[in-house]
Structure 1
Amino acid sequence: MNPISLSAALASFSEQWSPRIVTTVNDYDVRVTHVEGEHLWHVHDHTDEFFLVLEGELRISLREPAGERTVTLPKGSVFTVPRGVEHKPYAPVPTDILLLEPTGTSTVGDRHDEVPAHVEATTGHTLA
């Protein structure tokens, strides 16, 4: 094992909403990806989803029992979407994020809206 530079990992690809697995911790993938624009409404029925904004700004709309709300994550912020909560990430500017999810977790969740062409439905790609 060697240290992994997150900036080098992010520089190794340009696709949006297409995460790369930089390492694994127990049964969890640590993924990085570039994002811009809207993702899609989706739900992870069996796992929470952890977000860390490395660069830019991420907004996450949530549909909760009390109603719909949006959280804004500036650079350096973290947020966890609890399992079972429908959510839709949106990046108003080019943004780089780090995600922590169980290995094999789909980027579009267990239930979701139609997947737009700019979003890849994947469980992550191995870092080149």
Structure 2
Amino acid sequence: MPHLTLEYSANLSLDPAAGLAALNRCLADSGLFEEADIKSRALALDIFCVGTAATPRAFAHAKLSLMPGRSMDTRKQLADSLLAALSPLVQAAPGTELQLCVELFEIDRASYAKESRRV
């Protein structure tokens, strides 16, 4: 734990490997997680829609799933830190409206199973 999913519209210029590395560093630097427990993935979305206007638009949305028990202040700090780390990674074409957001989810501990092993 935690699991981070970065979804972004494919009309953005973003190096997903470098982006995930930066976001993982952000989470590790928080001191809240063991470095090896941070798992992330990036999904470029070829089919997407932002609003209804025929205006060039793009987005990146980071979703962080973590175990419950952290205060609202801690979760807000995580969200703000991830947004600050995400912002310089994303480039859009001139004239494009760009939205960046971070959302945190608490996982139900009772229904979460995990196995770790070294092979």
TM-score above 0.5, yes or no: no
Please tell me whether Structure 1 or Structure 2 has the larger radius of gyration of its CA atoms.
2
Question: Which structure: greater helix fraction?
Answer: 2
TM-score between the two structures when normalised by the length of structure 1: 0.24
Question: Which structure: greater strand fraction?
Answer: 1
TM-score between the two structures when normalised by the length of structure 2: 0.25
